[in-house]
Amino acid sequence: MRVLITGAAGFLGSHLCDRFLREGHTVVGMDNLITGNTRNIAHLAGNDHFTFIKYNVSNHIFVDGNLDAVLHFASPASPIDYLKFPIQTLKVGSLGTHNALGLALAKNAKFLLASTSEIYGDPLEHPQRESYFGNVNTIGPRGCYDEAKRFSEALTMAYHRQHNLATYIVRIFNTYGPRMRLDDGRVVPNFIGQALRGQPLTVYGDGSQTRSFQYCDDLIEGVYRLLHSDFHEPVNIGTQEEMSMVEFARRVNEITGNSAGIIFKEDLRIKDDPQTRRPDTTRAQQVLGWEPQVSLKDGLPRTIDYFRNVVNAT
């Protein structure tokens, strides 16, 4: 196949490029680098099957030649980013999705949308099933991201129904691994960065809020299987390995050998930040035969090794 991956220089987009190239496909990567970084794809320089285009997909997209699939992963994805770029986040979720869908339609290509667990908002259902409609504050500070993704899903299904376009929607739950930005504001790089510097890990509030963490390789495997399926409704991809922030902080300190401990600070989480987050992955198991393979015990040390090099270089 020849595929277009938007957001190709981002954390997940770059791993997606690697997977498709490894499978023998040709990849056109596109990114405006607002939050992505060419370091993530520097190892692909000189690869005859990879082309990178610096471009903002919120504008009309033109790609010469045939395409077999368009995978839309372009968007700020961490709170620190979409609070800094709220309008750009809304535009890439609306205009960018529209442009990417239009390109897929013109090329008679499959279309896969990177959606998010954030479409469930601060959930009143736990764990979250794909049938749950969510609890989202449309005008809150997180609304720019949550509502952009909810609109993206609606537009994707509209193209599927009206144009009979082969579309796919993956709802991505918390994912970690190499190539995350050290300063992206999410808990994994925050804790690891503090631990590697010998600092106490900062936990906001009482640390009882939970997340479930999946390793990036498992997410990419789920995306790849979904694109090659004939299932067109949203699919959760995430892990059942849920833990509190306090428990996660202790785990990071244990693996890194950080003796500085944990400090608790005033709850500075963004308004409407979910208290719990864990997917029901029954659909992924039944439709895709997918289950996560990399436990936190195995994935976290790999990620810490990556960040150790980043910290040592700064």
User: Which tokens in the block code for residue 52?
Assistant: 């990178």
83, with CB counted inside 10 A (0-12, 13-18, 19+), is middle
As a whole number of angstroms, the distance between CA 51 and CA 172 comes to 26
> Any bridge partners for residue 281, and if so which?
none
- Residue 69 DSSP SS3: strand
65: left (phi over 0), alpha (psi -120 to 50) or beta: left
- Say if residues 59 and 102 touch (Cβ distance below 8 Å): no
> Any bridge partners for residue 294, and if so which?
none
Active-site position among 145, 159, 168, 215: 145
Look up 145 and say whether it is catalytic.
yes
The pair phi, psi for residue 245, each rounded to 5°, is -65, -35
Close Cβ partners of 9 (under 8 Å, ≥ 6 residues apart)? 29, 31, 33, 36, 37, 38, 40, 41, 52
As a whole number of angstroms, the distance between CA 73 and CA 30 comes to 10
Q: Could you give the residue numbers annotated as active site?
A: 145
